[in-house]
Chain A
Amino acid sequence: MTNLVVTNLNKRFGGLHVLKDVNFEINGPELIGLIGPNGAGKTTVTNILDGAIKPNSGTVYLNGQRIDQLQPYQVARAGLGRTFQVTRSFRRMSVLDNLFVPALALNRGNSRAEIEEKAMEVLEFLTMAHLRNEYARALSGGQQKLLELGRLLMLDPEVIILDEPFAGVHPQLMKVIYSYIERVNDAGTAIILISHQMDSIFTLCRRLLVLNYGDLIADGVPDDVKRDPAVIEAYLGVEEEDTGAGKGGRAQP
């Protein structure tokens, strides 16, 4: 069973203390929302978890293996994958080649034919099979987000961090992303979902972590978090207390 343990995570950038003793644990295929206002430290947590930056103190263990001092590629091989807030597809590479990168990096599949078969399954699921030979730069912004998600399917990690997967995405494609998240989670992958779209967060997530300027101010089920006065004051806002919808909430697909 997936076990991610984050203990006393601290990160300073010069005089700015952006993470203050952050602690949380993920057990099994949880679907967790990580929310907070801009500058709360969400992306810093993501960057530390994926090895892009090192914490000043604290530890991260994934299934008993310490990963906070590893390089990003080692973290990916240890079983943690991520998407980026701004889509980072390999633009001058074909859609299929984009999917081949993680599969070959982690030796997923015994042969190229086997990897291609899996890649085609992923593209079918993402409704992008007809685009397999196109360069990624030819895709729309939403399709590039799907492609990033597809790469994660090929990586097949135990924990996935999705950083703003719904930003700038057409409602039709949001449906695909919704079903992606549910399918991946049902298959046993833990997901940390970062989004400012509260409707999506409250619909999908069964547990929420709330960061506020480096402090983890709440960790619980969405109904409890919504009523938490500290969360309301820091992030959701007073008016949302009545409606149950978060600030910045958008129409659900």
Chain B
Amino acid sequence: MTRSRIPQAAGLFLVLFFAIFPFVYSANDYPYIMHTLIACFYYAILASSWSMLSGYAGQFSFGHMGFTGVGAYTAALFSHYFYLSPVPTGFCTEFLIGDQYLVIVDAIGVTSSTLTQDCLRKALAVWDGSVQITPMPVWLGIALGTIMGGVFGLLIGLLVLPLRAAYLALFTLGFSEILRATISAEIAITRGQAGIELPYLFDSGITLFGRHFDKTDKLPPYFVMLFLLLTCLAIMFWLTKSKFGLFVRALREDQDAAAALGVNTTRYKILVFVITSMMAAAAGAVMAHYIRIITPNNLMILQMSLVVAMAVIGGVENVIAAAIGAILINFALELLRNSFEIGPFTLDMTIWRLVVFGVLLMVTLRFFRNGLIAPLIDHFTRGHVAAETVAQRKVAADQAGGAS
């Protein structure tokens, strides 16, 4: 195996490891470890797609968590407000589609389950179990959330076209905060800080490999999130190797020079926003269905900072490195929750782990500008370049000497 193939082999090993892990790990903390890994994959999608947008294409955005919110809330609102019924409710807004009625539940805010009933609950009370309503498919909600993320990405991409560097960062931060404030304020629709509950990813459970998994089992969401991560990474890896990847890197390096060389910078700037926003939105929607509740706090700037830090520590200019960085950091942050004793002192790691994380971030920024993982990959893929250059220069010099 050549040296440049080592990162690919390591990547394949990691994929196999994560594919096999749930079947071989059987300790008591299985649900906790599985939950941690699902969160790791979620952050890996966010960190890698953010590194595609900010590190690879140079569009330094603080709006990424906003796009996860768009995906999550689209899926949540879709599952919360839309149902199918074989008969009209007589209380709700409804449309006949085929042989079913599309029922749109009225928005009554946080009192829906206590003081006031929404129109569908009223109808259900009248029907008294004689009519079965059908919730919307979870996957349709996730698909809509992903598409809505792309629509928002398109809008933001169009709005930030003339903006660069700090202005772009502040604009996208503004977008994310406005979105969060709007969701918090629109209590009637979004239930504000109370959050909206979502159905399970597999509400009726699922049978995999001949075994039935209950809706609360961790294994199905684990593989859903892992599949989403691998799909996103595969798309991004393919993009980085394509014309698209070349052009967005040129866009990052010098937008004016890229345009002067025939690159439609507007198109690629918008495209990279749309693609990465869709990935963030898809991750947000799946995670919301897994956690089963979404609140505006998920969009907080602190969450965004965490994603940025994960990508920076992994390597912001390499989507794979950013994903590995996110998995390692999130896992380490979880493991560091355990307090330990040094002699007579007890170290409360629930607090100190964030200090460790902060120090790691500062050391990375100071001494490893391209992160800790990306240089390792570069070592194998580009380590030969310097020696090659020197050898070729020598050959050229020898030829010139021989000719003279």
Contact = CB atoms under 8 A, between A and B. Distances in A.
A130 B253 contact: no
Interface stretch (B26-34, B197-205, B259-267, B290-298): B259-267
Interface in B353-404: 382, 385-386, 388-389, 392-393, 395-396
Nearest to A75: B260
A130 B264 contact: no
A33 interface: no
B348 interface: no
B239 to A, nearest CB: 14
Contacts of B382: 133
A76 B250 contact: no
Interface stretch (A12-20, A100-108, A186-194, A230-238): A100-108
B243 A104 contact: yes
Interface in B10-65: none
Contacts of A102: 261-262
B253 A93 contact: yes
Contact of B260 (A81, A89, A92, A131): A81
Contacts of A155: 261-262
Interface in A125-168: 127, 129-131, 133-134, 151, 155
B261 A76 contact: yes
A82 interface: yes
Contacts of A93: 246, 249-250, 253
A127 B260 CA distance: 24
Given A73-B265, A101-B246, A129 B260 contact: no
A163 B382 CA distance: 33
Contact of A73 (B254, B259, B395): B259
A130 B262 CA distance: 26
Interface of B is mostly: helix
A52 interface: yes
Contact of A130 (B256, B259, B317, B389): B389
B230 interface: no
Given A105-B262, A155-B262, A92 B317 contact: yes
B336 interface: no
Contacts of B270: none
B333 to A, nearest CB: 30
A91 interface: yes
B249 A133 contact: no
Contact of A105 (B247, B385, B388, B395): B247
Interface string B65-93: 00000000000000000000000000000
Nearest to B243: A104
Contact of B385 (A72, A101, A133): A133
Indicate the member of A71, A100, A130, A155 with the most B CB atoms within 10 Å: A130
A24 to B, nearest CB: 21
Given A71-B266, A101-B247, A130 B260 contact: no
Contacts of B317: 92
A82 B392 CA distance: 30
A88 B257 contact: yes
A131 B390 CA distance: 9
A90 interface: yes
B258 interface: yes
Indicate the member of A50, A101, A133 with the most B CB atoms within 10 Å: A101
A97 interface: yes
Nearest to B58: A92
Contacts of B257: 84, 88-90
A247 interface: no
A106 to B, nearest CB: 5
A19 B334 CA distance: 64
A77 interface: yes
A226 to B, nearest CB: 32
A52 B256 CA distance: 8
Nearest to A52: B256
Given A52-B256, A88-B256, A90-B249, A134 B261 contact: no
A151 B265 CA distance: 17
B260 A91 contact: no
Interface in B234-293: 243, 246-247, 249-250, 252-254, 256-266
A93 B257 CA distance: 13
A253 B261 CA distance: 29
B262 A76 contact: yes
A130 B392 contact: yes
A105 B256 contact: no
A77 B262 contact: yes
Given A101-B263, A130-B392, A91 B253 contact: yes
B392 A88 contact: no
B246 A71 contact: no
Indicate the member of B246, B262, B265, B393 with the most A CB atoms within 10 Å: B262
Contact of B392 (A92, A100, A104, A129): A129
A77 B389 CA distance: 33
A134 B254 contact: no
Interface string A172-189: 000000000000000000
A73 B251 CA distance: 12
Given A52-B259, A73-B260, A84-B260, 9 more contacts: A72-B260, A73-B265, A76-B261, A89-B254, A90-B250, A93-B253, A97-B246, A105-B263, A133-B388
11 contacts: A73-B264, A81-B260, A82-B260, A88-B257, A89-B253, A90-B249, A90-B253, A90-B258, A101-B258, A101-B261, A155-B262
Give the 7 A-B residue pairs with the shortest CB-CB distance, closest first: A105-B262, A130-B392, A90-B253, A72-B259, A76-B262, A102-B261, A88-B257
